[in-house]
Amino acid sequence: MENVFFYLFEIGIIFTVVAIFLKERKNKELCETLVLAIIYGLILEILNVHNSETYSYGREFLLQIYDIPLTIGIGWAIIYYVSEKSVESYNLKWWQAPFFMALIALSIDLAIDTIAIRIDLWKWLIPFDQEFFGVPYDNLFGWLAVVWTFALFINLSKQGFQNKKISKIIKYSAAIISPYILAFQIISFSIITAVLSGRFSLSEVMDLFNKHDFSYAYYPEVQVIKAYFLWMIVFLLVLYLVKEIYKNCDKIVAKVRIFSLVIIFFLHSFFLMIIFVKEFYIQYPIFIFISILSLAFHIFVLLAPFYIKRHKR
């Protein structure tokens, strides 16, 4: 039965990205960015899986590159597209939008990751009853960092440099440099929280890290600090963005992104279906709540600009 989910997931991802490219075929700049996002996704996954060895992907995926499913790289492009389109109407500054995009990406992961590991799409080292229902907090922070890192490069490349070559260099380097900047952020998150927990000194953590022993990140004391640290980052980002959106009300564009809404709806519907088919709701009824709340958040983000603009009039 699990094989069916693998095939449906792969087919769904490929169908979605083809639909995106067909819809955006006249927007060459965006299509180019999506290709870079796919390359970025594959590079970061190859580096993470083969260097950290903290997670792995199921062998049932049909299309794989260096043990990384091609659909995962494509999936990152879809995440970028949906999050970028979701915040487009808010007309935020170029360096603010990536953080809003990162929050949207995180809310997607909260709904799908806990289900994906239970049907073996991918696996983490920790048990299902640890951290966020079996998903490490490092990974949740990683979803934030994956999106804001790449999006900052892409948005920076659009800032009207007099020398067009500079814009191109910044844009093309996003797929190559971002994975290493991302790795630095995730490693820093893990090390900082391990030290803040009081369980390890900085020298002890660095000694373990240099030996490729990442066990320091999974001690109970460290896991608690990771949770507080992650949700503090999310809370502060939400507060800041709400303030900025309120200040920016007059610049908001009243446009409903129906296509993005459809993608989000089908993505959530797929994993919500699995909750019921596999009867995960019996042991984890909260999964239904998380899935619906995440979908509601996306609908709100996509429809809010239209409401705000009408209300202002």
Q: What is the band of 126 on the pLDDT scale with cuts at 50, 70, 90?
A: very high
Instruction: Give pTM, 2 decimals.
Output: 0.96
Q: Whose CA is closest to 148, among 90, 85, 106?
A: 106
- Is the per-residue pLDDT at 313 higher than 70? no
Compute the radius of gyration of the chain from its Cα atoms. Answer: 20
60-74, pLDDT tens digit by residue?
888 898 889 999 999
- Is the per-residue pLDDT at 1 higher than 80? no
- Is the per-residue pLDDT at 212 higher than 90? no
pLDDT reported for residue 2: 58
pLDDT reported for residue 168: 93
Name the 3-class secondary structure at 62. coil
- Cβ–Cβ under 8 Å, residues 140 and 103: no
15-58, pLDDT tens digit by residue?
999 999 999 999 999 999 999 999 999 999 998 887 777 888 98
- Is the per-residue pLDDT at 139 higher than 70? yes
Tokens for 260, please give them. 């993005």
Name the 3-class secondary structure at 135. strand
Q: Residue 282 phi/psi, 5° resolution?
A: -65, -50
Tokens for 114, please give them. 């806990």
pLDDT reported for residue 51: 79
Q: Is the dihedral of CA 195, 57, 265, 278 positive or negative?
A: negative
pLDDT reported for residue 12: 96
Q: Which single residue is written with the structure tokens 């900052």?
A: 152
- Is the per-residue pLDDT at 240 higher than 70? yes
